[in-house]
Structures are given as structure tokens and as C-alpha cells.
Structure 1
Amino acid sequence: MQQASVEKFSDLIGAIYDCVIAPEHWTDVLNDIRMELGFATALLSAYSFTNVTIGVNAASGTDPVPTLAQTSKEYAADIVELWGGFERIRRYPLGEPIVRSQAVPEEVILGNRYYREWSRPRGLSDAVGVALVREKTIIGNAMFAQHESDGAIEEIQISGLRVLAPHIRRAVTISNLFDMKTVEAATFAATVEALTVGVVLVDEDAKIVHANAAADAMLTANDPILVRQGRIAVQSTATTKSLQSAIAQAAKDEAALGQKGIGIPILRPSGDPLVIHVMPLRRGSVRARLAQRATAALFVASASGPPQMSHVALNQLYDLTPAEIRIFELICEGHTRDAISDLLGVSVATVKTHLLHVFEKTGCRRQVDLVRLAKSLTFPV
């Protein structure tokens, strides 16, 4: 397949974010992604445990979604086995495309009931999985299957998914904050006002264009967001820098925003952990009509779990990719490079390359320095 143009990827990313406002568009967007990257089928599934009306269940190039859902339920245990089991799946980095044939031994795949009875009869020889969300309140995944007539999955397809995955992650995560399946663009302002999470619309300089009632209360109390020199900020200087950098990038080129601005961690004086999600607004047929002066919407929401060594901090402060973050974590857990290779289903050379990038980006020279850095990354940043 040929490399997609920058403009085409920008259009796809714009359409992805429009799905936050109009989730009924997910099927069409998923089909466009599948066609652009040359996959035979695509599935996007996300389920909220708190907002029962919220969920994404879109499929393209395969059986109708209800039939697919029933099939998945029938083969649930087999599907988990096909991707290496629960423990292996838990270790896959969020947002990183995982090629099944590279991660799981061939004998496991060929002997798997789901593969033999469902995938193989349809000519689906391999697949790429992307973990989008893995939290207490929401879980989401995307899967793209390759038809045997198209040969092996190519690196250009994986590269394309790496570009799109963080935007799908952000859109799915923010969708969970809304209390309805569809938000009409004409009533977006009213919907924002009714949300219990803080929502702040800002311009390219991080100056506030509008804040809903929940965000207004936070700003009045300087807890946890505030205005510093006319710009949106938080108490931590480092976190403020990350937040404002994400806003500037969203205004300049949302396609290059990547992992930045997904779940920026902050902490209230009470000790309650919160996160800020940054969603671009300028591009896209739906979002561009919401607020003419605003370039980004900031969602200030409760964190889904207790404070941990923040992988978000690793991305926001050091620009580590999901794969680099996962290797950082495994190194800090005491795993060797060979063990990490086995756990993630990648070559030792790939582990070494990612680790080299981790050293370069963090300024660390030894693995013990990475462990010290991990201990210092308490919540918040």
C-alpha cells in the first residue's frame, strides 16, 4: 500500500474527534481508516461502567455488529487466548499496535478455536490490536484484521495506526464524560454547562474563551485550575507547561498532537487525583461550529484510580511513546531485556532500541537512574 498523505491523515483525525460530539459517525470513520490503511476488517469497542448509555461498538468490513458481538461472546475465552492470555494482554502498551503473529506463537494461533472456526474461514490471516483504554470505569480496544490475499501486515500499516491511535484514545476517553449517546452541535454549549466535569474552552494562547459552571467553581477557588498571567494553569509549573504545550500543539496541528494532552495528572489540595484531557476543536465539520474563538476544549475530570507512578508524566514531560513507556515500566519492575522481549512479543533488538530512546529522552544513563526517576514521578507531576 502507498503512504497516506498528511492531508488525508488530518482529515481522518478531524473525523475521529467529531465522533466525540456525534458518536453515530464511528462506523463511517472506522471504514475510512480501514480502507486508507488497507485492512480487511476493523472493530472498535469501548464500554463505560459508569455511563451505561455510553459505548462504542462499531465495525467495518465484517459481519453486522450485533452478530459480531454475539460471536465474540461465544468465543470470549478463545479470543483472549489468541492474544496471549489476560496477563499478556494487560502488559501491551496503551496506544501501541500489536501484530498478533509477532506477539503469539504460530502453534497457539493455529490451534485456537476462534481462529479455526471464525477468522480462518473468512480468509483473515492476521490482525493488529490496539488497547485504547484500560481503566476502572471504561475499557476500549480496536482491532484491524488482514485478509490472506493482501499478504503480511506491512510496517506502513502499523505506522499509520501509530499516528491515529492516540487520537482514537482521546476521543473514546472524552466520550465517556458525556451523559448521552449523541450531542447535537446546536446544543453543545447547553450540554457542556450540564456536565459535572469542568470544561474550559481556550484559544491558541491558552486564554479562556468560556468555562462551564463546574470549571468556574474550580477557577474561583484556584483548585485545581487557575489563571496565571491570563492563561489557564495549575499549581505545578511542570504540569502547566505540559498543559499549555498540548493546547498550542492542538491549535497548530492536531494531527501531530499524538499522546500529548491525554490524561494530564493533577492533584487537588484535598489529595483527590484529577486528570485533564485536551481535545482540539478547529478541524472537523462538527467541532469547528462549536466555538469560533476556541481552539481546544479542556475536560477536568476525576482520575479513574488511585495515584500511581504516572506513565502519563513520562509522555507529557519526556515525550515517551507507549512502547517506550511500557519498557520503562518493565525495566523498573526488574525485568531483563530478554524477559521483556518475551513478555511483549518483540525482538530483543527492538527492546534495546526503545530503551536507547528512553535513555536519550529522560537524560538517564543507567537503568538504576530510570528506577530513581520512576520513584520521583509521584502523582501529580
Structure 2
Amino acid sequence: MSVLASAAPAHFESIGISPRELSEVIGAVYDCALDPLLWPGACRRISDLCESTGGGICVHDLRQVQNDQLFVFGYQPEFLEKLGSQYAESPMAVSDVVANIGDVSALSMAQFHLREGRFFREVLEPFGLQDMMWFPALRTGGRMASLHASRSDASPRYQAHDVGLFSLLAPHVCRALAISDALDIRALHSEVLEKTLDGLAAGVFLTARDGRVVYMNRAAEQQVKSGKSVRLANNRLAPTDSAARAALSKAIDQSTRDDDADVRASEHSVAVPDGVGGGYIATLLPIESGQRRGVLAPFAASVAVFMQDPIQAPPMPGEAFARLHKLTGGELRVLLSLAQGLGGMEVADMLGISEATVRTHLQHMYSKTGTSRQSDLLRVLSNSAPPLGVH
């Protein structure tokens, strides 16, 4: 019996779906990790499961300041154009600066003051949209991706059980996108699989059900050869850090049954430190079922482990600043709005809060940053943002 099937029935009744329905959607999401062309179908299945009228994936390029909607459906082209032009000022973009990967938000949550804000009046309401729900799913360098769903004004706003269901799916979407990003290819084909894997910068380890490594690409061989973060012991992956070793072993075991496993688990990656401030991030993909099984069938493997260097630079201007000074989401939303040259009244109107609340947030930020004027606060923010550089 699967873990999902043995889970408390009341848990699934509360979100209105069966364990089998959830497992099938999760399996479809994992198939996308090796073939991104399958994302349109997966996005529709996720939205249907959450009783949404629209959805898709948003990729925001911070260097080019552009917003691309991928695999979207259920939206008027004019709405997507409007959303793209105002995305940087939207509650979603500002909230995601301080949110953790996989954290689910809905515009109807109290902190977004949905109906009082300019975003609702100018972007959602004219196109008949009632609510949007989303989570940041991937941050790499200057890019950020999030998966979203929406409801029209003929549907109710998202409730706690809708957010709970989206939260069950979030870690699996995050894992699949992380793997696709590590591969940086459109699809894998078995006849050229080994050559393709050897050309990747990420280390790829394919393991059997018992954890034995059945294949390593060239990058993985180099990672093992250096021995700083990961080694082989009895032909099994063995991080040099004992806590990472236990976590990776548990994750590999979990991934052999991940299509049916406890999808409430939030971890989709394992940190593998080297003990001197460096190391890798291991991302795991179960490959015993779905289209993944056919792609990697020549290796008779059960789990793929992608080992890559983490990106050290803050993914968005403002994130490092917010974490350093312990700003709240509301404070950071005000700060980033002011940084765009808006005045206090305009910020209040855009965020749907009062001018008094804007002033209160400013006073709190002055105290946290050791500043006393808005110009000084904005200067400190500007100085803290990493240069984008030329690539």
C-alpha cells in the first residue's frame, strides 16, 4: 500500500481530492523534468485539480526586466500584455522577493489588500479575474519562475483548502523545474542519452532502488574524484558531511516511491557541503514510472541525482537587503515601490494601504537599517544590490 493510500482519509477529504488523483498529477509533473514540452498538459492538470479557470508558468528575467508567460491558458492576450507591463509592481513580484521557494500565496490573503490595491482595479478586474494563486518555483541567476493559477469573477476566491492543495503540489513542481534548469535541454532521447549527459555541467548520478550508483556522467566522476563533498562508499553516494549523508540516503529511498509517497514532504533538494563553505545542491528525480522510465530505461535506474554548484548571488535586488535587515514583506513592498520613484500617496494607492501605514513601515525600516531619512534608506538599498555585470 502506498503512503498516500495509507494517509489519513480526512486529510484528503479536506482538500477535496483522492490520493490517486494527486499521485497522477505529480507523476505528470515529474515527466516534465526530462521533457519540458509536457508542461502545457501538466499546467492544465494542476489548474483543473485546483478548480481554476487559467494558469501557467511565469518566467521573469531580472536583467532584461521582462516577463514571459509560458504554457498559459485561460487568459485574454490583452491581460497577459497588461500583466507583463505591470509585473514588476505587482503584489506577486514583490512578495516573491522574500518568499521561500514553494511558498504558496493567493491575492485574496489579507496581507495583499486585494480589492483596495491598484493591481486589482487596473489589471485583474477589467479582465474578469477574481483571484490568483502562485508560488515561486525556481531562482537561478537573474531569472525567476513561478507557477500560477487563477479564477474568474464567476468563481469564489481561493480558500484555505485550495492553498493547501497547491502547497502539496509545489515541492514537486519546484523539483521538476530545478532539474530541467540543470539539464538546460529541451528533451532527452535514449539513443544519444549518454553523450547528452556527459555534456552537462551538473553531475548526474543514476542509482538503483538500493542506492547503488549504476551510472555517473563526467561531471559526477570529477565530483567524486575531488572527494571534497561527495564520495562513493560500497558503490553508494556518500557525502563527506554526516548529516548530508543521512539526508541524501533518506531522500533516495523516498524518491523510489515518490509518485505514491507522502507528497506533503516539503524537501525537494539536499545540501551537500564540503566543510569549508562550499559544496553542492543535490536534486532528486524518481524515474521508475511515467515517461521518465522510457527515457532512462537503458540504465535500469530508479533515481536520478543531479549535483550542482549553488548560485551564490542574490536572485533579486532587494532579497539580500530584506534578509539582512529582517524586513517584513509589507515593509519590503513599500521600499521597492518607493525605489521606483513613487511618492507616499502613490505607494499607498498602489498597495491598497493607507498613507499612515506607509509612514509606519518607513519608521520601522529606519530603525532596522540605522537610517533616518527616505533618501538615506534608498541609498543603502541601492548600494546593497549586486551589480548585474555584462555576460
TM-score normalised by the chain length of structure 1: 0.71
Paired residue for 1:60, among 62, 68, 73?
A: 73
CA shift digits 1:232-275 (9 cap, x unpaired): 1110111011011011000023443533342x222347753321
Q: 1:187 aligns with which of 183, 192, 201?
A: 192
Residue 32 of structure 1: how far off its partner (Å): 1.0
1:293/1:256 CA distance change after superposition, 3 Å? farther
**Contact 2:229–2:241 (CA under 8 A) maintained in structure 1:** no
Structure 2 residue 145 is the aligned partner of structure 1 residue 140: yes
- Name the counterpart of 1:352: none
Q: How does 1:5-20 map to 2 (within 5 A)?
A: 5-20=18-33
Deviation by residue 1:140-186 (Cα, 9 ceiling, x = unmatched): 11221122222131222212111110111111111111233333354
Whether 1:238 aligns to 2:240 is no
Indicate the residue corresponding to 1:102 in structure 2: 109
Retained in 2: the 8 A contact 1:46–1:172? no
Deviates more, 1:295-304 or 1:265-274: 265-274
CA contact (8 A) 2:133 2:148 kept: yes
Structure 1 pair 73/123, CA: closer, same or farther in 2 (3 Å)?
closer
Which residue does 1:370 correspond to in 2? Answer: none
TM-score normalized with structure 2 length: 0.69
| CA distance, structure 2, for counterparts of residue 56 and residue 256 of structure 1 | 31
1:1-381 equivalence runs, <5 A: 3-46=16-59, 57-63=70-76, 69-77=80-88, 80-83=89-92, 86=94, 88-106=95-113, 109-112=115-118, 114-254=119-259, 255-256=261-262, 258-262=265-269, 264-268=270-274, 271-291=277-297, 293-305=300-312
Q: State the SS of the aligned residue for 1:182.
A: coil
Q: Which has the larger radius of gyration?
A: 2
The separation in 1 between residues aligned to 2:222 and 2:15, in whole angstroms, is 50
Letter matched to residue 131 of structure 2: D
Q: How many correspondences in the alignment? A: 308
Q: Deviations over 1:50-94 (max 9, x none)?
A: 9xxxx9822122236xx66533332234xx3444x73x4322232
Within 1, Cα distance between the matches of 2:282 and 2:289? Answer: 20
Q: Residue type of the partner of 1:32? A: R
**1:48 Cα shift?**
7.4
In 1, the alpha carbon distance for the partners of 2:256 and 2:194 equals 20
Distance change (3 Å), C-alpha of 1:242 and 1:41: same
Amino acid at match of 2:81: Q
Distance 1:265 1:222 in 2: 16
Note closer, same or farther for the CA distance 1:162–1:186 as it changes in structure 2 (3 Å cut).
Answer: farther
Further displaced range: 23-32 or 183-192: 183-192
Q: Could you tell me the percent identity over the aligned residues? A: 21
The Cα shift of 1:135 comes to 4.1
- 8 A Cα contact 2:59 2:143, kept in partner: yes
Mark the CA change 1:198 to 1:111 in structure 2 (over 3 Å): closer, same or farther: closer
Q: In 2 relative to 1, CA 242–93 (structure 1 residues): closer, same or farther, beyond 3 Å?
A: same
C-alpha distance in 1 between matches for 2:81 and 2:56? 14
User: For 2:147 and 2:189, how far apart are their aligned partners in 1?
Assistant: 26
Q: Which amino acid aligns with 1:18?
A: D
Alpha-carbon separation, structure 1, partners of 2:109 and 2:306:
37
Is the contact between residue 95 and residue 166 of structure 1 (CA under 8 Å) also seen in structure 2? Answer: yes
Alpha-carbon spacing, 1:76–1:230, altered in 2? closer, same or farther (3 Å): closer
The letter for the 2-side match of 1:174 is: I
| Aligned-partner Cα distance in 2 for 1:225–1:15 | 31
Q: Are the equivalent residues in 2 in contact too, given 1:137–1:304 (CA < 8 A)?
A: no
Find the aligned partners of 1:247 and 1:105 in 2 and give their Cα distance: 39
Closer/same/farther in 2, CA of residues 56 and 184 from structure 1, 3 Å limit: farther
**CA, structure 1 residues 270+180, in 2 after alignment: closer, same or farther (shift >3 Å)?**
same
Post-superposition shift, 1:222?
Answer: 2.4
**Equivalent residue letter for 2:219:** A
- 5+ residue gaps in structure 1? 308-328, 345-381
RMSD over aligned Cα, in angstroms? 3.4
The CA distance in 1 between the partners of 2:61 and 2:296, in whole Å, is 25
Runs of 5+ unmatched residues, structure 2: 1-13, 315-321, 334-391
* Residues 84-121 of structure 1, C-alpha deviations (whole Å, 9 max, x = no match): x73x4322232121121214453x64441x43344213
